[in-house]
Amino acid sequence: MKTKLLLLMTAISVAGAALAANPLLSPYKTIHQTIPFDQIKTEHYVPAFEEAMKQHMNEINEIVNNPKAPTFENTIVALDKAGSLLNKVSSPFFNLLGSETNDELQTIAQKMSPLLTEHSNSIRLNEKLFERVKVVYEGRDKLKLTPEQSTLLKKTYDGFADNGANLSENDKVKYRKLSKELSMLTLNFGQNVLKETNNWNMHITDKNLLAGLPADVLEMLALNAKKAGKAGWVLDLKATTYVPVMKYADNRDLRRELYMAYATRNMQGGEFDNLENIRKIANTRLEIAKLLGKNSYADQALVQRMAENKENVYDLLNKLLVAYKPAAQKEYDEVQAYANKNGAYFKVQSWDWSYYSEKLKAEKFDLTDEMLKPYFELENVKKGVFGLATKLFGVRFVKNTNIKVYHPEVDAYEVFDEKGKFLSVLYTDFHPREGKRAGAWMSEFKGQWMEAKTDSRPQITIVMNFTRPTETKPALLTYDELTTFLHEFGHALHGMLTKCTYESLSGTSVYRDFVELPSQIMENWASEKAFLDGFAVHYQTGEKIPAALIQKIKDSENFNTANFTLRQLSFGFLDMAWHSIEKPYKGDVIKMEKEAMASTQILPVVSDAAMSPTFSHIFSGGYAAGYYSYKWAEVLDADAYSVFVKNGIFDKKTAASFRQHVLVPGGTEHPMVLYKRFRGQEPTIDALLKRHGIQ
């Protein structure tokens, strides 16, 4: 008996020592308490998750078992603070799952995702906990709360009510089951897209097949081949390959082959097929919505959006469709006529559009990406983008190589305000890797919060997939990559400049259709001469970008913008179609997609290609019933930027107002209240139509 007891005590001691040695569970003794990436190993995550969930549940039990009557402080604020250790563990894990994943991390995600969902359900479905929240919520009129406190109270109550707290016991069991299934389905969807994208490549040994591609693209493709131990060139489906091939490759068969490989991912059977995943995700979301008393998932999701309901979403999408479709048809006809004039005796298809559009643009405006890229060397662009924030908001960025990063290509910056006060840490990660999903995004490793005199500042990351440097050239960005940088940097500013009491309301913790305003407004500076003059110099000669070239950017700004808008609208309609179903969908996924997008199509429809199987925004990201947000926010950003145009694009008073009323408050009040404080009125679509030359 003594031996067994001794063995048990020894085991407990060893387990305790292992936990104590786990860097994820210890206070970070680093600069600004940043994540010690150099100390964290893959094997640390599972025990850290398990311990953090255990501690979180202990914190919840303390709230539930508090003998004192529920108050805003001992229930609502206590709930907001609970789970800080779990956030500390989850943050590096899920960020790395998107930006630097591997098989081991994906295996852990498969294990932990349902456990984390069940953990969350155990809190949201805790009747005694909800009763305490309800007592505070129902007595809110007597509490004399600040707007921020009122928002936190409503968000907390809704977080329970919208996640099954009012369900019967039987329905709570169903909710637990469905939410766990959904977490696995969405996780699998995203992993499938990454794996199928990484699995495709094309080895080419005949350089003639690559005619038309710029020299730096050829050099990048040759470097791909060299890394694979092959001669010649290797093409893949990353944006840095796909986009230039679509724009510049003279070989139409090559363009078509790459287009079809890209547009038929995850839909041809096999291990990574997503067609059944799509049906299951849409139907599971519907079933959850039905449990919660809604007719569709969109009805459930839009309650917490500026749009409020499906009717308002469709109203915006349809208004924009009516406004832009005639212009889009004219744009297509112009590209078709140009192609015919230049010996292309066929109807312009999806794999021809970028190619002939680029050539027409070059003819009309004497402007190509290749003319601009030498002026957009990445290091200079960083100076320009950071400098814009300095001009507008007085913030400055200081690179700190002592802050640990998760990959050698990542840089870390300390961010200070105009008085030298520390604001944030910013991580930048610019280039594609096999462990990084496609696209560009902003996230946070730590949110901002305040308690007493402590203002705990955030740690923000922006991740992109920009053109890599080659063996002979630095990283030279396209104009689209410049605007993408500005977009994600706008999100970063939202995260870095915020100053809120409660972490769950700080930074980008706002309605989905408001969160794109700070990002999209920053894109407006990309074509401004006063901005470009500050950093855009030729990477070899140091010559400033010519004024004539900037004017060409301005002149070409609306080139084919109507077709781009229709493309965005098609995604919005597709998203709403999947999330407005009121009966389980058992039909053909591709048929559903074609019908949803039909009204927006100008280019000939490719019958055996589809967007849905790789539409990660809505099937594995946070944009389900929310993709319309990009257009909604574009209306806001055009309206908001008109104030800068009127007062001066670097006007400090306008910038200070935008900072004070939009960036700093996070989600502490309803976004329309915040917007009207800045703008003085509600937005209309007029500024957007004017910007695009539609009116």
Own/partner long-range contacts of 359-365 (Cβ < 8 Å, ≥24 apart): 360/334, 360/335, 361/556, 361/559, 361/560, 363/338, 364/556, 364/559, 365/552, 365/555, 365/556, 365/559
Average pLDDT score over residue span 468-473: 92
A 10 A CB-CB count for 596 gives 21
Burial (0-12, 13-18, 19+ Cβ within 10 Å), 682: exposed
Per-residue pLDDT tens over the stretch 493-543 = 999 999 999 999 999 999 999 999 999 999 999 999 999 999 999 999 999
Distance of alpha carbon 568 from the chain centroid: 15
Catalytic residue, chosen from 59, 414, 444, 488, is 488
| pLDDT-based confidence at residue 163 (cuts at 50, 70, 90) | very high
- The length of the chain is 695
**Of the candidates 688, 687, 690, 636, the residue with the CA atom closest to the CA atom of residue 662:** 636
Q: What are phi and psi of 18, to 5 degrees?
A: -65, -40
Per-residue pLDDT tens over the stretch 92-149 = 999 999 999 999 999 999 999 999 999 999 999 999 999 999 999 999 999 999 999 9
With contact defined as beta carbons under 8 Å apart, do 316 and 635 qualify?
yes
pLDDT higher than threshold 60 for residue 152:
yes
Q: Is 370 a catalytic residue?
A: no
Distances in Å between the Cα of 57 and the Cα atoms of 27, 126, 318, 323, 660 are: 20, 11, 47, 53, 37
Average pLDDT score over residue span 462-482: 95
Residue 148 has what pLDDT? 98
Q: Is 449 helix (H, G, I), strand (E, B) or coil?
A: strand
Per residue, the 3-state secondary structure of 37-84, as one string, reads CCCCCHHHHHHHHHHHHHHHHHHHHHHHCCCCCCCHHHHHHHHHHCCH
**Of the candidates 416, 396, 662, the residue with the CA atom closest to the CA atom of residue 520:** 662
Residue 669 has what pLDDT? 97
Per-residue pLDDT tens over the stretch 179-204 = 999 999 999 999 999 999 999 999 99
Residue 97 has what pLDDT? 96
Residue 360 has what pLDDT? 97
Average pLDDT score over residue span 70-79: 98
Average pLDDT score over residue span 317-345: 96
Residue 539 has what pLDDT? 97
This prediction's pTM: 0.94
Rounded-to-integer distance, Cα 300 and Cα 292, Å: 8
Q: Is 650 helix (H, G, I), strand (E, B) or coil?
A: coil
Residue 10 has what pLDDT? 52
**Of the candidates 356, 245, 277, the residue with the CA atom closest to the CA atom of residue 603:** 356
| pLDDT-based confidence at residue 667 (cuts at 50, 70, 90) | very high
Distance of alpha carbon 274 from the chain centroid: 21
The dihedral over CA atoms of 627, 629, 632, 638, expressed in degrees to the nearest 10, equals: -110
**Of the candidates 281, 282, 103, 89, the residue with the CA atom closest to the CA atom of residue 194:** 103
Domains of the chain: 2-166 (1.10.1370.40), 200-263 (no CATH), 265-346+558-695 (1.10.1370.10), 373-557 (1.10.1370.40)
Top-confidence residue, 492 or 685: 492
The mean of the pLDDT values for the chain is 95
Residue 168 has what pLDDT? 95
Average pLDDT score over residue span 684-693: 88
Residue 17 has what pLDDT? 64
Per-residue pLDDT tens over the stretch 3-18 = 655 555 554 454 566 6
With contact defined as beta carbons under 8 Å apart, do 83 and 56 qualify?
yes
Residue 684 has what pLDDT? 86
Residue 686 has what pLDDT? 87
pLDDT higher than threshold 60 for residue 241:
yes
Per-residue pLDDT tens over the stretch 388-430 = 999 999 999 999 999 999 999 999 999 999 999 999 999 999 9
